[in-house]
Structures are given as structure tokens and as C-alpha cells.
Amino acid sequence: MATFLVIQAARFGDVVQTGRLLRTLERRGQVHLAVDAGLSALARLIYPFATVHGLALHGCQEQEVLEKNIRVLSGWRSTEFTTVYNCNFSGLTAALCRMFAPETVVGYRPAADGIWRSPWARMAFQLSGQRVLSSLNLVDFWGHFTNDPLPPAEVNPVAAPGGQGIGVVLAGRESRRSLPVPLLAEVVRTAFSAMGGPRVRLLGSSAEKNVARKLQKLLPPKMLDRVEDLSGKTDWPGLVDAVSGLDALITPDTGSMHLAAHLGVPVLAFFLSSAFAHETGPYGQGHLVWQAERHCVPCLESAPCPYDTACLEPFCSQALLRSLTLALTEGTERAALPEGLQLWRSCVDSLGAVLHLVAGADRHAARRAQVREFLASYLDVPFVPSADEAESITISGEANSGLAWLFDEWLCRDTDWMLPPGRYC
């Protein structure tokens, strides 16, 4: 039987977003998954089929990584892995891959001049040079590390209310990507009213306890007996229990959002600053994302904002709350949004996750559709553009312009075509 090792040493959300790759490999053999030790319990919960290995990585230097993980690595030495999938462009994980034959490592491995990237990983790095034109969800990036991955519609359940009320993720890891508490309170009040007064669960770590207190002070007194503050009170099993069966999860771009999508919980997501729904939006069918749209979005969260987070301004419009009410009651057909704000519904096609614009304007629609068409061709995936994509290309007048603009030293270079596409991920 084939035996696979997947190394995913990044954060909570990244572990969940590796699901397409892991579930594909589950159908082909035995799966081992290496994660940061603090995420081991979560990984075992959401991937019960995998043998999970916890790695000591935090505060670890590259030269220490082998020594600190000697117990795990000794077990790896006695296992003959058919393929090792290293999902992280990282010196630490590349160092771990030194113990494997180079030809068995997919993704990233050590090289004399740094870290070697496979052709598919190199292609994605080039795509990130113009992130606003991205049409590739991170789940699908990792999913296509292997040939013929699990069909996108089989990765996560179709989103459906579970009868357990509303979940509210209080904040994300990067504060600039989260709605301010007063605005979040308006969103929660609006959803509470539109959904007929269900129970509300506030979700977050101990660091968000103060946010929970501030939020509750801004909610109407009649709501408070329906609010349960779980900030800082859930371990990984507790978080899974708290999210499972919700009718909706209100959230920025967070690991809890990806967990909800994994569980089939409808997501109501708010993306601004460096968060970009085409890259890291909730995976599957039936989620909604309100996305900021500015010349500077998406930005780098590590860099200071020179515009005083101007991408937040459209979220303060009453039109946002009206569109939320429509989405939770009669549907999004009549939703209208101010300039600088879009509303997307998540769908899937043969390549992976794709977003359908239901309100707002998308000036990049045509080129994003062409990038998607190109990526499907590169991966040898049979692809028919959605009606939205085909229409946007035609309206823009680019229907017959071909893909030449993709090859102007941005997306493709000659070396990318030296190996059969999609085969040596």
C-alpha cells in the first residue's frame, strides 16, 4: 500500500485548507500528517484517517529542527514513504526534507542555492505577483500538488443551516482584517433580527475576551440572554462542538471560518485589507463573502497601511446591513452595495473553488477568468468557464485577445514548460 507524508507546518487555517490534498491521498493509501505540535489535537479531529505527527517548530532555528524533532524523525526513518508533500516554503520544513530522497519530495525541498520549488509551486509564486488577478483558492493550490485530486464538490459539504444559531468570530489574527467592534455589533444585531432571534455564540481565544465584553455592551439588552461568550473557553474539541451545526458563522478571514466550511456551516465572511476571497475564501458551495475592492487591495498585512485602512469605509454603509438582511431572508438578487464593496457567493467548478459576484462591480473579471482558464490548461483539467466568466470576457472585448498578456514575463517563463504540466508538483 502506498504511504504518504504531508508536512503542513503553518497555522490553524492552513491545516484545514490542506483538506483536498489529504482526502485525495486517503483514497490512495495510508496518510501521515505533520503539523505544529499545538495543532495536533485539531488535526486528529478533522482528519481521523491520518496518522498525525506533532512537530516542535516555534522558536526553532533551521539548524535545530532535526535535533528537536528527533523522536518524530526516527519514526519517519523506519517508514518508507511513497511521496512526501511539503506544503510550506520554509527553511525549517525544507530541512526536515533532507532525510528523504529528493525525487520523493513534492512542493519544496532543500537545494544548494536555497529552497527548490516544483514547477506548480513556482507557477503559483509567479501568480502571486499580481494577487488581484488570482483565481486560485489555497485549498486548490495544495490540492493540485497531486494529479487528479478529489473533485471540488466532494471536499466540503454544501453549506446548510444546522439549527444551532449564530457564531461570531470576534477578531482575526491581524487586527486590520477584522471589523471594528461597533461595526461588528451592527452586523450581529442585523443578523440576529433577520434570523428571528437565535442563540449567539461568541468565539475567540483568551486574547479576545475584552472584545467580547465590548461587543456585548453594544448589543440590545433583549439580546444578551441569548448570547453565550465562549472566548477563551474552548479547546480544539470544544471549538469544533461550538461551530458544528450553526446556522451561520460571522467572521473575518480566520481558521474558524475554514473550520466552519469544513463542517458545512454557512459562512458570512467580511474580507478587507490583506484578506482576499479568491485566495483564502471559504471553500465549498453556499458561503457569502463581502470583499473590499480598492486599487490597493489585497495588501501585505506586514506593511503599514498608507491609506488609514480606507478599505473599511464601504463596510460602514447601511447598504451592507441591508444586503445582509436580504441574504438571510429573501436572497441576494436585490442586494446593492456602494463603490468599493463586493458580495460574492462561493461555488465550485472542475478546477476548484470559484466565486460568483452577486452585488458590486468587478473590474478584473475578464482577466481573472482568463487566468483561471490558463491554470486549468496548465494542470490538464477539462475546463468550461462559468456563464459569469464567459460573459465578463465577452463584455470586456477580450474574447478573442487570447492569453498573450499572461506571458509578458509575469506568469510563465520557458523553464516552466520543461516538465509535463501538473505531473511533477
Burial track 338-362 (b if 16+ CB lie within 10 A, e otherwise):
eebbbbbbbbbbebbbbbeebbbee
Q: For position 246, what pLDDT does the model report?
A: 98
Helix (H, G, I), strand (E, B) or coil at 291: strand
Under the banding of pLDDT at 50, 70 and 90, the label for residue 134 is confident
Indicate the domain borders of the chain.
2-117, 166-359
The residues, ordered by sequence, that sit 6+ positions from 409 with a Cβ below 8 Å of its Cβ are none
| Region 2-117: CATH code | 3.40.50.2000
Does 166-359 match 2-117 at the fold level? Answer: yes
CATH 3.30.720.200 fits 166-359, yes or no: no
Q: Model's pTM, two decimal places? A: 0.93
Neighbours of 175 (CB within 10 A): 13
Q: What integer best gives the mean pLDDT of the chain?
A: 91
Q: For position 405, what pLDDT does the model report?
A: 58
The residues, ordered by sequence, that sit 6+ positions from 402 with a Cβ below 8 Å of its Cβ are none
Q: What percent of the chain has pLDDT over 90?
A: 79
Question: Over 60: is that where the pLDDT of 1 sits?
Answer: yes
